């Protein structure tokens, strides 16, 4: 499988505050990778540097493909209230002929189950539906890589489950490569093919974990699966012991060793 994203020794400093301390990882084509880390560790900064919104202080980001779409947590600010749902989804496609724009937007709205809401305004929809519009807008762009920054953090628990399953379905049906930042450990295990665990600020890679669960996930059976519970505990432990004063390299090596024992046992 080829790499869709390669991040090499990526670091970023705001003034004298080091937010990211040198991250190296890859995302393979078609993979869904989750990034978890303590609050304020630099997860959004990581996405901003990957998306080009912020120029990193050091290191390289290389994307295999030219299209990148981002879905943010705050859907209410990312949708234009004066445009219809269809207009919002068409918006990033402005360079394309009108008929193609329309067709792609209509198709993406069908994918997220909002074909019937195309003429509505965003404010006429529930929060979960608005976030589905934001996802449709990203998908209509047919991104090589879809970046999501806490995409389901602003909706209620039931809607969150529905949106998680929607994401899993559309990435499977359309072979989308996805990098999701989340502060929710359970969500990272439920969604991910892999989980990147970051340390507290400055963010460093503590562990890069394969999720040993079948590709088909189910909100009830997956979350009670032994593999799910074991990995969730492991990620929680990795996050809790992130002490900035420790020798991070030694600590991460010890954690990786103990993880391989746990997962293989
Ligand atoms: N534009 C900025 N200028 C200065 N400091 C910033 C800027 N953006 C973020 N920071 C700081 O960099 C650090 C990392 O912030 P970032 O938002 O990337 O973390 P995060 O892991 O996404 O946080 P959270 O989990 O709370 O969303 C924080 O200490 C934050 O205060």
pLDDT (tens place) for every residue of the chain, 265 residues total: 699 999 999 999 999 999 999 999 999 999 999 999 998 899 999 999 999 899 999 999 999 877 889 988 887 788 999 999 999 999 999 889 999 999 999 999 998 889 999 999 999 999 889 999 999 999 898 888 999 999 888 888 888 898 899 899 988 888 889 999 999 999 999 999 999 999 998 999 999 999 999 999 999 999 999 999 999 999 999 998 545 444 445 555 555 565 555 444 4
Q: Which two tokens stand for residue 226?
A: 């032994």
The dihedral of CA 42, 46, 51, 55: what is its sign? positive
Q: What is the pTM of this model?
A: 0.87
Residue for token pair 């400055």: 202
CA atoms within 13 A on the CB side of 111: 26
Nearest CA to ligand 1 atom 29: 40
**pLDDT for the residue 250:** 55
**pLDDT for the residue 175:** 86
Q: How far apart are CA 162 and CA 135, in angstroms?
A: 13
Closest CA to 58 of 19, 17, 101, 12: 12
Tell me how many degrees the CA angle 128-134-135 measures, rounded to the nearest 5: 90
Q: Is 219 in the pocket of ligand 1 (CB under 6 A)?
A: no
Is the preceding peptide bond at 202 cis, omega within 30 degrees of 0? yes
Q: Is 41 in the pocket of ligand 1 (CB under 6 A)?
A: yes
Parallel, antiparallel, or unpaired: how do β-strands 58-63 and 3-14 relate?
A: antiparallel
Domain ranges of the chain: 3-67+143-262
Say yes or no: domain 3-67+143-262 is CATH 3.40.50.300.
yes
**pLDDT for the residue 252:** 55
ipTM of model: 0.95
Q: Is 194 in the pocket of ligand 1 (CB under 6 A)?
A: no
**pLDDT for the residue 249:** 53
Mutational pocket test of ligand 1: of 37, 44, 73, 151, the residue with most ligand atoms within 8 Å of the beta carbon: 44
């Amino acid at each position: 499988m080829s790499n869709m994203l390669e991040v090499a020794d990526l670091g970023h400093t705001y003034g004298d505050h080091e937010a990211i301390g040198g991250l190296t990882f890859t995302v393979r084509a078609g993979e869904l990778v989750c990034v978890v880390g303590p609050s304020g560790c630099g997860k959004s900064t990581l996405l901003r540097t990957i998306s080009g919104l912020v120029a990193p202080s050091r290191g390289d980001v290389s994307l295999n493909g030219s299209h990148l779409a981002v879905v943010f947590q705050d859907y209410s600010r990312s949708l234009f209230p004066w445009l219809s749902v269809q207009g919002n989804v068409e918006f990033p496609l402005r360079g394309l002929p009108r008929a193609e724009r329309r067709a792609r937007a209509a198709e993406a709205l069908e994918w997220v189950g909002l074909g019937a809401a195309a003429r509505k305004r965003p404010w006429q929809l529930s929060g979960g539906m608005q976030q589905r519009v934001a996802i449709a807008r990203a998908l209509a762009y047919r991104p090589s890589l879809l970046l999501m920054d806490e995409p389901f953090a602003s909706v209620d628990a039931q809607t969150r489950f529905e949106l998680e399953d929607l994401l899993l379905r559309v990435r499977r049906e359309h072979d989308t490569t996805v990098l999701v930042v989340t502060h929710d450990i359970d969500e990272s295990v439920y969604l991910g093919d892999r989980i990147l665990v970051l340390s507290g600020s400055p963010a460093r890679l503590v562990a890069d974990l394969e999720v040993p669960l079948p590709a088909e996930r189910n909100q009830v059976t997956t979350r009670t699966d032994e593999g799910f519970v074991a990995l969730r505990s492991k990620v929680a432990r990795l996050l809790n012991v992130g002490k900035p004063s420790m020798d991070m390299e030694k600590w991460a090596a010890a954690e990786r060793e103990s993880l391989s024992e746990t997962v293989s046992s």
